[in-house]
Structure 1
Amino acid sequence: MNHLTTAEKTERIRVLHVDDDEALVDLAATLLERECDPLEVVTETSVDAALQVLRAQTVDCVISDYDMPGQDGLAFLERVRTTAPNLPFILFTGYDSAALKADAIQAGVTEYQRKRTDTEQYAVLAERVLEAVES
């Protein structure tokens, strides 16, 4: 279900989605691109690979899992903020923790969204990406 007009579809929005679950990140990319035509989703399964993408490509928004091997999503956010302080960063996590949400907000995430098992969550995530990029 795409809610954008033809005029709004002309500009691509490049999203870097980072999650150590390769199947999930690939599915999420497909669903986000299907949900919102302007989104072009680049996927990575590690923080180090994601940082390489950020150095080499223009990215409009980052979506990151929290629980990843090596570095968690908040440590990744901290590294992103050193070179791109205003880049929208959405923490997309399976953890339902008020403490984590508070820590994420304090660390400067643009949005915090909890993962669910339904595919409808990707419509909400796509909207959050658009809002974050537009603001």
Structure 2
Amino acid sequence: MPDEITVFLVDEDPDILEVTATFLERADDEIEVATYTSATAALQEIRSDPDVADCIISDYTMPELSGVDLLQAVREIDPEMPFFVFTGREREDIEAELDAESFTGYVKKGAGTDQYGQLAVEIRDALEK
């Protein structure tokens, strides 16, 4: 596992990106978060260099390219890259549309910061597999 973990965080809301990146980096000193308000821009980076990111956390519903579309494109490039769905929707709603095996984990957007520590642990666990 790399000493530094590069996480691509994709969400159209810059405020959510800022808060999430800050708390995730605080939860684990070795995590560095690159933020993208466009799934298309994140995907272009991954296509140009598949090793640029160790993990992706993506909103589920976004304009232009959804989280599902991003997940499918990433799976074509790197079927093993950890991919976490980050959404306000319930996990059951996501699993109704996606095979639970196709994504690594699920993070519910909401109040509080406890989920970021847990997410950092889950990222590490996924990368160690």
TM-score, structure 2 normalization: 0.89
Cα deviation code 1:28-60 (max 9, x no counterpart): 111111110110110001111111221345211
Q: Is the 8 A contact 2:46 2:53 kept in 1?
A: yes
Matched, 1:123 2:117: yes
Q: CA offset at residue 65 of structure 1? A: 0.6
Consecutive unaligned residues of structure 2, counting only runs of 5 or more, are none
Match of 1:50 in 2: 42
Classify the secondary structure of the residue corresponding to 1:86: coil
Consecutive unaligned residues of structure 1, counting only runs of 5 or more, are 1-7
Q: Is the 8 A contact 2:6 2:34 kept in 1?
A: yes
Matched, 1:28 2:20: yes
Cα deviation code 1:76-108 (max 9, x no counterpart): 100111111111101111111513234333460
Classify the secondary structure of the residue corresponding to 2:98: helix
Q: Return 47-56 or 31-40, whichever deviates more.
A: 47-56
Q: Return 106-115 or 19-28, whichever deviates more.
A: 106-115
- Counterpart of 1:31, as a letter, is F
Match of 1:64 in 2: 58
Once the two structures are superposed, the pairs formed by residues 53-132 of structure 1 within 5 Å of their partners are 53-57=45-49, 58-106=52-100, 108-132=102-126
Mapped partners of 2:26, 2:93: distance in 1:
33
Q: Is the 8 A contact 2:88 2:108 kept in 1?
A: yes
* Percent identity of equivalent pairs: 39
Match of 1:5 in 2: none
Q: Could you say what the CA RMSD is over the residues aligned between the two structures, in angstroms?
A: 1.8
Classify the secondary structure of the residue corresponding to 2:76: helix
Mapped partners of 2:69, 2:106: distance in 1:
15
Matched, 1:37 2:44: no
Match of 1:3 in 2: none
Larger radius of gyration: 1
Q: Would the alpha carbon gap of residues 76 and 133 (structure 1) be closer, same or farther in structure 2, given more than 3 Å must change?
A: same
Report how many aligned residue pairs link the two structures: 127
TM-score, structure 1 normalization: 0.85
Matched, 1:11 2:3: yes
Mapped partners of 2:19, 2:62: distance in 1:
18
